[in-house]
Amino acid sequence: MTLRITERPSPNHEPRPDGEAIDTLILHYTGMRSGAEAIARLRDPADIVSSHYVVEEDGQVFRLVPEALKARHAGVSHWRGREALNATSIGIEIVNPGHEWGYRHFPAMQMAAVADLCLEILGRHPIPARNVVGHSDVSPDRKQDPGELFDWEGLAANGIGLWPQQDGATDGDALELLGRIGYRTDLPLPVLVTAFQRHWRQEQVDGIADAETLARMQGLIRLMAA
Ligand SMILES: [Zn+2]
């Protein structure tokens, strides 16, 4: 299936730096009451935010900023030792009211469109699976999106990002493991564990690195090394 994309250009972009590949894909939720409201904000020249794409709850896909340009979706961010990830990333905003306005499940039509869009993007850029992340992974002290209802496991089953297999190892130092995965490590441990759980242990988002959370960290590191 070829994805149909509707153009909704946003002026909120800049050139990308020379000589750096696009190697990170960052997924967000819009966190506003409606998709239309979110798209309007992401196109407002008085505002400073944008994204490359917006995916509506019915699966419609809008392009706001061409991939060749830098959109303003991640802000202060960090992953695997690098900062300010807007320069080298593509950002997708996925319509959902978010934790502030009534967080709810992402409909199947929407997730199918997200998967198709991600696969197209991954086909165009050298983005390793471990660099397919959520806003909360790269800005764990500020952001919760796309959150614990987002089907990361389903995306991974389609070849988008990583999902850890159970491997039995339940030991290890949580902060050290989180650093190896890619998180910044200069934040309080519960903040980082919460961010990890929103992505990789969604049934328990409490900031406590229990045995199962540690096992998933270990499993993820094993996948990253493979
Ligand atoms: Zn976000």
Quote the ligand 1 centre to 172 CA distance (angstroms).
30
Residue 15, preceding peptide bond in cis (omega within 30° of 0)? no
pLDDT (tens digit, 9 = 90+) per residue, 94-146?
A: 999 999 999 999 999 999 999 999 999 999 999 999 999 999 999 999 999 99
pLDDT for position 56: 98
**pLDDT score for 143:** 98
* Dist. CA 101–CA 99, nearest whole Å: 6
- Cα–ligand 1 centroid distance for 167 (angstroms): 31
CA atoms within 13 A on the CB side of 179: 10
1 pLDDT more than 60: no
- Fill in the DSSP letter of residue 103: -
pLDDT band at 168 (very low <50, low <70, confident <90, very high): low
The residues near 45 (Cβ < 8 Å, ≥ 6 apart) are 11, 12
By the CB criterion, residues less than 5 angstroms from ion ligand 1 are: 28, 135, 145
Between the CA of 74 and the centroid of ligand 1 the distance, in Å, is: 6
Residue 19 amino acid letter: G
145 CA distance to ligand 1 middle (Å): 5
Report the predicted TM-score, pTM, of the whole model to 2 decimal places: 0.97
Cα 124 to averaged position of ligand 1 atoms, centre (Å): 23
Question: Token pair for residue 187?
Answer: 């934040």
Q: Is 62 exposed, middle or buried (0-12, 13-18, 19+ CB in 10 A)?
A: buried
Of 161 and 168, more confident = 161
Instruction: Give pLDDT tens digits for 21-65.
Output: 999 999 999 999 999 999 999 999 998 899 999 999 999 999 999
Give me the active site residues, please.
93
Q: pLDDT tens digits, residue range 200-221?
A: 999 999 999 999 999 999 999 9
Question: Separation of 177 CA from ligand 1 center, angstroms?
Answer: 24
SS3 65: coil
pLDDT(93) > 80:
yes
Handedness of CA 41, 2, 122, 103 (dihedral sign): positive
